[in-house]
Each structure stands twice: as C-alpha cells, then as structure tokens.
Structure 1
Amino acid sequence: MGEETGRRVGGLHYGWIIAIMSVVTVLGALGLARFGYTMILPSMKEGLGLTDSQAGDLATANMIGYLVMAVTCGYLASRFGPRIVASIFMCIIGASMILTGMAPNFQVALLGRLLTGVGSGGTNVPVMGLVPAWFSAKRRGLATGMAVSGSSFGMVVTGLLVPAILGRYGGVGWRYSWYCLAGFAFVIAVLGYVILRNHPRDKGLAPIGAVETGVAAPVVKAAALQWGTVYRAAPVWHLALIYILFGFSYIIYTTFFARYLTWEAGFTTQAAGALWSMVGIVSVISGFIWGSVSDVVGRKYGLAIVYFLQFLCFTIFGLWKAPTGYYLSALLFALTAWSIPGIMAAASGDLLGDRLAPAALGFITLFFGIGQACGTFIGGRVADLTGSYTLAFVIAGSAALIGAVASLFLRTPERAL
C-alpha cells in the first residue's frame, strides 16, 4: 500500500495505545513499587526502628528480586508473550505491597520488598521489551522514552499521596501508604491484560513507522529463536556492562533522596515530597527528549550525554550543600531520569529485532539489577560509617562518569543480528 501504518485505524495506530498502556504499566512496576519506597522510607524506618544499613538492605532486597526475574522474564515474555507475563507479575506487586504494609519487623519487610522486586522485574522487562515490536527503528527511541515516563508519573503520585497519608494517619501512615499503592497495582494488572497486545499482527497491523506491505510478518516459534545470539553478541555485553553503572549510581540517588534532604539538609517531609513530585513532573519529558536524541545522534552518544549530566547531578547533590545545589541537582536528574532505560530498550530492539528484544533487555537488565543491589548495599553502609550520605553520592557520580566514557566505545551493527 506504500503508506505509513501510523495513519491507519481512524488516524490512530493501536501502537500508540500500547505506548500509553506501557506508561501506566511502568508507573506501577517502578513508579509505585520502587520509588514509592523513597517517600515511605523515613516513616517506615522510624516505625520499624531500622538502621541506615537495614533501610539500604530493604532496597537491596528489592533489587535482588528484580535481578532474579530479569533474565527469566525475558525468556518467559518471548515464549508466552509480554501481555500475560506482565499482568501476572503486576498482581504479585500488589500482594507484596500488602505484605510490606503488614510487616511487624525488619525480616518480614525484607521478604515483602524482595517479592516486590520479583514483581517489578517480571512486569517491567516484558512491557519494555514489547514496545519496540510496535515501532520501527526510526521511532523506537521515542516510543521507549515514552514508556519509561511511567516512573515519572509514579514519582508525582507518591510525592503527593504518601505525605498526605502520613499526615493523616501518623505513625501507621506508612502501612496505609503501601495498602493504597497495592490497590493501584491490582487495577493496573487488569487494565494491562485487557489493553496490551504482544505484536502488531495481533491487530492486523505493521509497526508504526514501517511501510505497509499487506503481508503479515511470519510468526516465529519460540523454540526456533536463536537464544544464543543474545548471549554471544559483544554489543549486548557492552550494553550490559554500561547498564551496571546506571543501576549502581541512580539507585543511590533515588533511594536516599528524601532521607538525605530531611536528615542532612533540613527539609520537612512535605518539602522533600514536594521536590520529589516536581522531579517527577519534569522528568516526564526526559524519556521523550533523550530517546529522540538517540534516534538522531545514535544510541552511544545519547547514552554518553545522559551519563555525564547524571555525573554532575549526583556530585552536586552530595557536595553543594545549599538549597541552590539541591534544586539544581533535582533539575538535572529530572531532565535525564529515565532516559537510559529507554535508550537501552531501543538499543536491544536495534541489535536483535523485535522477537528477541525482550530476551536481550532481560539479559542486560540482569546486570542493571546487580548494579542496583550493590548501590543500595554500599550507600547505606557508607552512611552508617561516615554519618552522612555525602560520600555515597560522590561515589554515584564517579560511576556515572565512567558510564559516560564507556558509552563512547559502544558499537552497534547496521541491522539486527
């Protein structure tokens, strides 16, 4: 037919519906399940009598759960389809949040956060691997950048909702906060199952940005997929090693953001929550901006620029101990927050095509999870040893700078392997 399929179905390609639902799904998988902990932590820490190391360990357990599911869910999504896998694990997120809210001690809270991580990995990896199938390579960065903005909306919701719940229910407010977020997770699970579709051919369409040929792409059976391609490709390993550095650095910043501001910077819980929400609002555009930039200048240069800006963000937050420094750091993070996961998802599709993209993303997310687990483990212990989070943020900045340099050496093939 020779026309872009993006103009079909009454002017709106179903791929855009998929993109919107992916935003909502990421909101639940990461925005609520992971970043909700940032705002709940100060009250939860007090309620359970936790040390800074234990607070870090709860975040580490969440990352370990995410890590465990990263590779497995990449396979499951490629084998059974992202739609059903993401919906099931979103329900696990909801159940684990209820468990966390009911926790009488550190050990039960640790189990709750571990299971939340399992649910997050089992939801986020499949849905981020699904998005590239609906968009051609020239629009893939924009699409995945749109999907990761769900984390931003989650920050807005938790930054406004959690302080309100804490103010209303006092010492047990952190428990009600988890129950409330769990309710959102169950609703998102149902919506995802109803709305998501695994591939454009399920709707008789071609990807957005592709040229309609009138012939559906052949269905490749999972058994016939060359899984070894994922693990043997040198560019995939390079992406994975770069992704470790993002996981390590950003998780220190986001986990201890509110705790640092209320403990060392003199912010009230409400002021820290307001700033966190503002970061969330501004960061909505981060995925769009840098995903689109990577479509134009290439994935490696897009990654390098973002890593360098985050190096400035983390370092300023730790060393410039004044309101100007805190707000400048927050702005830098907001402008770059979720761009790296979006670019990584697009790069996975570029490297291995839409059928193996979930498996590739799952593989590199394994390394991302390792970085996150190490970041929260080290960040909490550095705070206990030094009595401050300053050094932890400087370490995070150093990791981001290494990521910027390493990104410049990334090589990608002209077409999918």
Structure 2
Amino acid sequence: MLAREHDQNIWKYAFASVAVTVSTLGFGRMSYGIIMPFMKENLAMSYKQAGMLATVVSIGYLLMVIFVGLLAAKFGAKKLVIFGTGLVSFGLCMLGFVAGYKWTLLAMLLLGIGTAFTYTPLITILVGWFPRKRGMLIGFLVSGMGLGTLISSTLIPFFTTWFGDMGWRYLWIFYGILSIVSIVIAMTILRDPPIPLLRKEQQKKSFWTKVYLNKRVLRVAVIYGIVGFAYLVPQSFLFSYILEVGLTKYQAGQIMAVSGTMAIFSGPLWGGVSDRIGRKAALLATLGIGAVSLIIPAVFPVYAGLIVSQLLWGMTIVGMLSLCQALSTEQVHPTYAPVALGYVTFFFAAGQLLGPGIGGWLIDHFQQIPLALIMCSVLLTLAFLLTIRMNKHAEDLDVTELEAKPSLTNFSIKETSAEKV
C-alpha cells in the first residue's frame, strides 16, 4: 500500500539515497585506497600506518552500528542520515587540512562513525516506503559505492597534476563540499516512513534462539565477515601496487575506474540473477569469480591482467555484499529479519576492522603487496566452501501470508515522530 501511495516519489528517493551513499560509502570509505598513495608519501606513512587508517574507519563503524537501530527508532531514520552525512562531510574536509598522523586518525574515525549513521537508516526509509521494490532500491543504494570509486579514480590524476603534492588535500575538500550538497538533497526529499517495530513483550529468549544462536544465521555471518575482511584490502593497496609495477597514475586510475564502473551495476545484476537461480548459487558464483580475480594481479602484473582483474572484482564484490544481506534475512522468520541483518552486519564490520590492518602488516613484513591479495583470495575460497554447505532457508512463510495474518508477526506500527508524507 505504501509503495502504491508513493510510487510517484520512488525515483526521487532513489536519487537522494544514491547521493548520500556516494558521499558516505563512496567518498568516505572507498576513495581512501585510491588517494592513499599520495597521502602516504606526503605524510611519510608506512604501509602499516596506511592500513591502520582504513582500520580506524571500520572501528568507528563497528562502534556505532550496534546502536543505530535503537537510535533510528527513537529519533527517526532521516535525522540519523542527516547527522551521519554531516559527520562524513566534516571528516572529509578535515582530511584536507591534517598536518600529522594523529589528526588523520581522528578524521578517519569520524568517517566510520558517520557511515554507520547513514546506510542502515537509509535502508529503513526505502523499505518502509517501498516494501515491494526493496530489491531494486537497495541495488541502487549499494551502487553508490561503485559510483564513488569511479569518481575518485577519474579525478585523482587531474587533481594531483593540477595541484601537485597538495592535490590529494584539495580532492578531500571537494568531496566534503559535494557531501554538503547531498545533505541538502536528503533534507529536501527524504521523509520518515511508518516503521514496523517488535512489541516490547516479545520474549528476549526468542532473539537468542531464533537469531543469535541460529546456526544458519551464524554461517551467513561468518561468510559476510570473511567478505568484509577481504574487500577493503584490494581497495586500500591495489592502487599502490599498480604504481609499483611501473604503470602511470593515469593507467592506475583507468584500472580502478573499471572496478568502480562494474560495481555500480553489480548489486542490481546479481540481485536479478539470484531471483532466477537462487541466492546460494549466485553467492557461490560471486565468491568463485572474486577469488580468481585477486590471484590475477600476482600472476599477470601487467595492464591487461590488471584490467581483467578489476573487471571481475568490480562485477562481483558488491553482489557479494547484497547477497549476504539478502541471505541473512532468509535464514529466519520475517519477524526477525531486521535483527538478523544487524547481527551479520556486525561480523562484516569486524572483518573490515581486521582486513586493512593485517594486510598492511603483511605487506610491510614481506614487502610484497600481492601476498595480501592472495590472502584475500584464499579467504574467499573458504567462504565459497562454507556456502556450499549452506542449506535452503527453513522459514518458508510468505510475505503475503504475513499481511493476511498480521497477528503472526507480533509487529506494531509506529509512525516516526516528525515527518509524514
């Protein structure tokens, strides 16, 4: 009913959500690996320190992601999106003026915290207003990461050429300004929907038995954690590796742009494929292709090999993320789906926390960036094997049945305070 009532606004909501995602996930998280080589040289950082900066972003995300659901219920999802994007904007601008490593750590922490305040509340808004079109809209949402990577890959060669050693600073500031524009867009378009909330009398034991101790959910959580560990390592260090093998920064930008371009379509692509062949089969395909793509740079460190690697990586990585999210909600009764999604996201954030730091240590210790890529390929192979053992989800109750028998869900509808469409 909500989707029918607000169909005319669906593309406005898609546009506003992508704008916010590009600013937060695209600029705030995915751009760091592309800008990092220039920051590393200018700030005289080691690879371990550079990896720790990416890890700090994940720490900020991990610290807040647990509380975001409660805060959204209390203050409204839109307010959190605005606040989170504001933090990201401030952190991006701050990176343009940092004079030392400690201030850089603080700015990256703000990026992580701000990202935690935006992504999940955005999903809440989209699913709340357009429940029957959630797949398409979440696909657009996830594509913001790829679009941000594409923009960064395109702009970094020009900024470093025009402004020399200061180019990376001006680029961060430029991203901060664009993020302020996305705040204005979100404030103008987004509204809080009626949000279904579990009643307080719901037994707490059920959460433990149905979600937290559910073996099917735990398996998805481990797989999602492995993906989280693996996906930031190439993003953080591959650009540096491309420069090390003798390619120019323009070629490096082109290679990374291939990944960003493919990532824009990856979520919607694999979402559609999974509707036809099943989530498990689609996830197996993305994990297998992704594992192979990370081996290619070590075996064929030439322009053509790196292009193929990033083509395959870009077309699968965002698909892995969206498929893991979808799988987590299918392992439980629909009543517990939001709880399961938040639970597995915690594992994903923990993986992000460990990945860049361990990857940076490995590179510093052995002086070999390909070793970090091979490590991620092995981990994705492990996730592939875990997925093979995954059974079909046990909960087969259809959404239409839930709508016909609302008493089954134990949901109460609460319209968030401030805004109604």
Q: Is TM > 0.5 for Structure 1 vs Structure 2?
A: yes
Corresponding residue number in structure 2 for 1:269: 249
In structure 1, what is the Cα distance between the partners aligned to 2:302 and 2:65? 39
Query: Could you tell me which of 293, 312, 317 is aligned with 2:273?
Result: 293
Matches within 5 A, 1:298-337: 298-337=278-317
Deviation at 1:279, TM superposition (A): 2.1
In structure 2, what is the Cα distance between the partners aligned to 1:344 and 1:245? 11
Corresponding residue number in structure 2 for 1:209: none
Asked whether the 8 Å contact 2:3–2:130 carries over to 1, the reply is no
In structure 1, what is the Cα distance between the partners aligned to 2:187 and 2:4? 25
Letter of the structure 1 residue corresponding to residue 40 of structure 2: K
Corresponding residue number in structure 1 for 2:92: 97
In structure 2, what is the Cα distance between the partners aligned to 1:92 and 1:374? 23
Letter of the structure 2 residue corresponding to residue 288 of structure 1: P
Corresponding residue number in structure 2 for 1:215: none
Asked whether the 8 Å contact 2:77–2:122 carries over to 1, the reply is yes
Q: Does 1:255 align with 2:231?
A: no
Change (3 A) 1:346 1:34: same
- Quote the sequence identity (%): 29
Letter of the structure 2 residue corresponding to residue 174 of structure 1: W
Change (3 A) 1:277 1:52: same
Deviation at 1:349, TM superposition (A): 4.7
Change (3 A) 1:378 1:50: same
In structure 2, what is the Cα distance between the partners aligned to 1:153 and 1:375? 23
Corresponding residue number in structure 2 for 1:414: 396
Tell me, which stretches of 5 or more residues in structure 1 are unaligned?
Answer: 203-218
In structure 1, what is the Cα distance between the partners aligned to 2:24 and 2:201? 30
Q: Does 1:189 align with 2:183?
A: yes
How many equivalent residue pairs? 393
Corresponding residue number in structure 1 for 2:137: 143
Matches within 5 A, 1:215-226: 220=197, 223=200
Corresponding residue number in structure 2 for 1:380: 360
Letter of the structure 2 residue corresponding to residue 295 of structure 1: D
What do the CA deviations read for 1:88-130 (whole angstroms, capped 9, x no partner)?
A: 1110001112222221111111111111111112212222344
In structure 2, what is the Cα distance between the partners aligned to 1:401 and 1:58? 27
Q: Does 1:35 align with 2:30?
A: yes
Asked whether the 8 Å contact 2:125–2:192 carries over to 1, the reply is yes
Corresponding residue number in structure 2 for 1:399: 379
Change (3 A) 1:390 1:301: same
Deviation at 1:53, TM superposition (A): 0.7
In structure 2, what is the Cα distance between the partners aligned to 1:359 and 1:194? 30
Change (3 A) 1:102 1:361: farther
Corresponding residue number in structure 2 for 1:83: 78
In structure 2, what is the Cα distance between the partners aligned to 1:285 and 1:49? 37
In structure 2, what is the Cα distance between the partners aligned to 1:39 and 1:194? 31
Letter of the structure 1 residue corresponding to residue 396 of structure 2: E
Deviation at 1:380, TM superposition (A): 0.6
TM-score (norm 1): 0.86
Change (3 A) 1:104 1:90: same
What do the CA deviations read for 1:306-351 (whole angstroms, capped 9, x no partner)?
A: 1111001111122322323211101101211311222233345545
SS in 2 for 1:372: helix
Q: Does 1:164 align with 2:158?
A: yes
Deviation at 1:367, TM superposition (A): 0.9
Change (3 A) 1:63 1:331: same
Change (3 A) 1:372 1:108: same
Tell me, which stretches of 5 or more residues in structure 2 are unaligned?
Answer: 400-408, 410-421
SS in 2 for 1:33: helix
In structure 2, what is the Cα distance between the partners aligned to 1:194 and 1:354? 32
Asked whether the 8 Å contact 2:255–2:306 carries over to 1, the reply is no
Query: Could you tell me which of 233, 245, 262 is aligned with 1:282?
Result: 262
Asked whether the 8 Å contact 2:328–2:340 carries over to 1, the reply is yes
Change (3 A) 1:354 1:106: farther
In structure 1, what is the Cα distance between the partners aligned to 2:121 and 2:111? 16
Letter of the structure 2 residue corresponding to residue 163 of structure 1: P
| RMSD (Å) for aligned C-alpha atoms | 2.6
Asked whether the 8 Å contact 1:22–1:147 carries over to 2, the reply is yes
In structure 1, what is the Cα distance between the partners aligned to 2:330 and 2:137? 13
Corresponding residue number in structure 2 for 1:108: 103
Corresponding residue number in structure 2 for 1:208: none
Corresponding residue number in structure 1 for 2:322: 342
Asked whether the 8 Å contact 1:249–1:400 carries over to 2, the reply is yes
In structure 2, what is the Cα distance between the partners aligned to 1:18 and 1:230? 31
Letter of the structure 2 residue corresponding to residue 237 of structure 1: L
Change (3 A) 1:114 1:358: farther
Asked whether the 8 Å contact 1:78–1:222 carries over to 2, the reply is no
In structure 1, what is the Cα distance between the partners aligned to 2:338 and 2:85? 17
TM-score (norm 2): 0.85
What do the CA deviations read for 1:7-44 (whole angstroms, capped 9, x no partner)?
A: 766xx443443333322222111111111112211111
Deviation at 1:373, TM superposition (A): 1.7
Letter of the structure 2 residue corresponding to residue 272 of structure 1: A
In structure 2, what is the Cα distance between the partners aligned to 1:145 and 1:409? 27
Deviation at 1:149, TM superposition (A): 0.6
In structure 2, what is the Cα distance between the partners aligned to 1:236 and 1:78? 24
Change (3 A) 1:345 1:18: farther
Change (3 A) 1:27 1:355: farther
SS in 1 for 2:60: helix
Asked whether the 8 Å contact 1:311–1:397 carries over to 2, the reply is yes
